[in-house]
Structure 1
Amino acid sequence: MDISHAVSALSALAQESRLKVFRLLIRTGSKEMAAGDIARALGVPHNTMSSHLAILCRAKLVQARKAGRSVIYAVDLDGTRALLSFLVEDCCQGEPAVCGPVIESTLSACCSE
């Protein structure tokens, strides 16, 4: 991940409703949620939620798929992993492999693929 993509992802999370969406989807793990269910769970109007979800998708933190008339969302594990890896890239005196297991165990614990 390059720095501009990291800034985009962090910017997407730097808004209360979008951060709540991301955390909700992380909590659901590998389960997916329809856009309407996400909006109801967070008390956000549907049209506003669509905009938030689109921003999170462009940042590669959330992925979407069509199912009939619904759009179903889940955490984008690859994008989330890339962001977390970027954030800890310089940890442990330049030994990012030390932090790799922490990232993997965190994502595995909440979001089994």
Structure 2
Amino acid sequence: MENTSAVKALAALAQESRLGIFRLLVQAGPEGLAAGKISELASIPPSSLSFHLKELAHAELVSAKTEGRFVIYSANFARMNDLLAFLTENCCGGTACISLDCASKGA
């Protein structure tokens, strides 16, 4: 991951509502959640939710798919893991000190 990509992802997460939405989607796993359910769980009005999901999608942290009349959003676990790897790349003097494999099992 390059610095500009990391900054874009971190900027998208540097807002309370978007961070909450992303965490909900991580908890939901690869199946994701319908936009209406995200709105309900996060207590965010649909018009605001749409804006926040667009920002997360622009940073490639979430993806959307249409299922019937619903739009299902899910966390992009590969992107999340790339960001975590970028942030911890030189951790502990370059020695691997944490495992980032937990989220990739659901991707």
In the superposition, the TM-score normalised over structure 1's length comes to 0.86
Per the alignment, residue 4 of structure 1 pairs with 4
What per-residue deviation string (whole Å, max 9, x for no partner) do you get for residues 6-58 of structure 1?
01100100101100001111111222101111011111110110110111111
> Quick one: which amino acid aligns to residue 12 of structure 2?
A
CA–CA separation in structure 2 for the residues paired with 1:62 and 1:30: 10
Per the alignment, residue 112 of structure 1 pairs with 106
Q: Compute the displacement of 1:91 (Å).
A: 1.0
Per the alignment, residue 41 of structure 2 pairs with 41
Instruction: Find the residue that maps to 1:38 and give its secondary structure.
Output: helix
Could you tell me which runs of 5 or more consecutive residues in structure 1 were left unpaired when the two chains were aligned: none
Q: CA RMSD in A?
A: 1.5
For 1:102, which of 99, 103, 106 is the aligned residue?
A: 99
Structure 1's consecutive aligned runs of 4 or more residues displaced over 4 angstroms after TM superposition are none
Alignment of 1:72-87 (within 5 A): 72-87=72-87
CA–CA separation in structure 2 for the residues paired with 1:91 and 1:32: 31
Aligned positions, number: 107
CA–CA separation in structure 2 for the residues paired with 1:32 and 1:14: 21
Q: Compute the displacement of 1:66 (Å).
A: 1.5
- The question of whether the paired residues in 2 share the 8 Å contact of 1:60 and 1:80 is answered with no
Per the alignment, residue 52 of structure 2 pairs with 52
Q: Compute the displacement of 1:94 (Å).
A: 2.2
Could you tell me which runs of 5 or more consecutive residues in structure 2 were left unpaired when the two chains were aligned: none
Instruction: Find the residue that maps to 2:31 and give its secondary structure.
Output: coil
Per the alignment, residue 25 of structure 2 pairs with 25
